[in-house]
Amino acid sequence: MKEVMSDHNSSSEHISSIGSSVAIWLALLIGTALTVGAAYVDLGPFNVVVALAIASIKATLVVLFFMHVKYTHEKLTKLVIATAIFFFLILLSLSMADYATRMWT
Amino acid sequence: MPNSPVATANHEVHDNPALLHHFATEQQQKNAASLGMWIFLATEIMFFGGMFCAYLVYRYKYFGDFGSASQQLSITLGAINTTVLICSSLTVVCGVRAAQLGKRTQVVFWLLATIVLGLVFLGIKADEYAEKFEKHHVPGASFHYHELLPGQEKLAPADRQYANSHHAEMYFSLYFVMTGMHALHMIVGVGIFSVVTFLAWRGKFTPGYYTPVEIVGLYWHFVDIVWIYLFPLLYLIDRHR
Nearest to A66 by CA among A29, A33, A25, A31: A25
- What average pLDDT does the segment B229-241 reach? 94
Tell if the CB–CB gap between A8 and B97 is shorter than 8 Å. no
A99/B5 CB distance under 8 A: no
pLDDT digit string, tens, across residues B24-40: 988 889 899 999 999 99
Is the pLDDT at A12 greater than 70? The verdict is: no
Domain boundaries, position B78: 25-235
d(CA B90, CA B170): 35
B54 vs A11, higher pLDDT: B54
From CA B60, how far away is CA A96, in angstroms rounded? 9
Between the alpha carbon of residue A23 and those of residues A17, A27, A65, B219, the distances in Å are 10, 6, 10, 22
Domain contains B9: no
Cα dist. B99→A4, A84, B96, B189, B201 in Å? Answer: 21, 29, 5, 18, 11
pLDDT of residue B3: 54
Q: Does A9 touch chain B (CB under 8 A)?
A: no
Q: State residue B18's pLDDT score.
A: 79
Q: How far is B142 from chain A (nearest CA, A)?
A: 31
Q: Per residue, what are the HEC states of chain A?
A: CHHHHHHHHHHCCCCCCHHHHHHHHHHHHHHHHHHHHHHCCCCCCHHHHHHHHHHHHHHHHHHHHHCCHHHCCCHHHHHHHHHHHHHHHHHHHHHHHHHCCCCCC
Nearest to A55 among B53, B90, B232 (CB): B232
Q: Is residue B12 part of a domain?
A: no
Q: What is the CATH number of the domain that holds B231?
A: 1.20.120.80
| Residue A53 pLDDT greater than 50, yes or no | yes
In this structure, is residue B90 part of a structural domain?
yes
Is residue B127 domain-resident? yes
> Angle at CA A39, nearest 5°, toward A37 and A42?
110
Number of C-beta neighbours around residue A105 at 10 A? 2
**How many Cβ pairs closer than 8 A exist between chain A and B?**
138
Q: How many domains does chain B have?
A: 1
Q: Return the sign of the alpha-carbon dihedral for residues A35, A39, A43, A45.
A: positive
Has residue B50 been placed in a domain? Answer: yes
Predicted TM-score (pTM) of the model is 0.90
Query: Residue B11: inside a domain, yes or no?
Result: no
Q: Which is nearest to B182 in space by CA: B225, B215, B137, B139?
A: B225
Q: Is residue B132 part of a domain?
A: yes
Distances (CA, A) of B226 to A52, B7, B122: 12, 47, 15
Going through B8-115 in order, the beta strands assigned E by DSSP cover: none
Q: What is the ipTM of this complex?
A: 0.89
pLDDT at A47 over 70: yes
The whole-number average pLDDT for the span A74-87 is: 94
Whether the pLDDT of residue B1 is over 50: the answer is no
Q: From the CA of B79, how many Å to the nearest CA of chain A?
A: 7
Residues B185, B177: Cα–Cα separation, whole Å: 12
